[in-house]
Chain A
């Protein structure tokens, strides 16, 4: 079974700082990868996804993520964060095996200080 690790449980940054949230997964085959965001009091929203092709994917609100297959990683980045980026971020993986089980990481709470 696949698993997802997000090592940063809570990250606190000042506005305009650069962000990188780690995500590692364990699965030997082809995967689709996702980052979801949950703003306070709101439902989960898709931030970006990787299916195939260019390993550097760009999402909404200036976020991007890079898929490094050799490292089984899909880290989320943003060059300059804003106070409105305060939220919880979840990495998720679904294998290409036909099993539709999406596996989530435990999440990273991001707090941006104005």
Chain B
């Protein structure tokens, strides 16, 4: 079955540590996205990529970094500069103008 796989499902970060969240899709979608979901705030866009080797900042990119070396992969790194990283992170993919398909999410917590 085609879909989006996010791993791990739960992740814990120590102070000052960078962590990387994985997102892989086998839907052959050109565009991929990372969102952060916080209670009462809905989904906020962190980064998105419309094509391999290119990506743009979303609304809350500070403290995060991404890469898009392969079409099917769009990993997100939460750096130590992100002061409030505890959240639920969602990855999505789509083709131009089409609805986005979402992964199951990664819940990141601080130790």
A residues with CB within 8 A of B: 6, 9, 32, 34, 36, 42-46, 49, 51, 90, 94, 96, 100-107
Majority SS of interface residues in chain A? loop
Tell yes or no: B16 within 8 A of A by CB.
no
B3 and chain A: residue at smallest CB distance: A43
In the complex, B31 has a CB within 8 A of chain A: yes
Interface of B, secondary structure class, is strand
Whole-angstrom distance between the Cβ of A10 and the nearest chain B Cβ: 10
Given contacts A51-B97, A100-B50, contact A43 B102 (CB under 8 A): yes
Cβ 8 A contact of A90, one of B31, B42, B48, B96: B42
Supposing A43-B105, A44-B90 touch, asked if A106 and B96 sit within 8 A by C-beta, the answer is: no
A41 nearest CB neighbor, chain B only? B104
Most chain B Cβ neighbours within 10 Å, of A49, A94, A101, A102: A102
Provide the residues of chain A in CB contact with B90, threshold 8 Å.
Answer: 43-44
**Interface readout for B22-34 with A: 1 if CB under 8 Å, 0 if not?**
0000000001010
The residue in chain A whose Cβ has the minimal distance to the Cβ of B91 is A43
User: Does the CB pair B102–A94 fall under 8 Å?
Assistant: no
**0 or 1 for each of B78-111: is its CB under 8 Å from A? (1 = yes):** 0000000000001010101101111111000000
B44: chain A residues within 8 A (beta carbon): 104
- Chain B, range 4-41, C-beta contacts under 8 Å to A: 31, 33, 35, 40-41
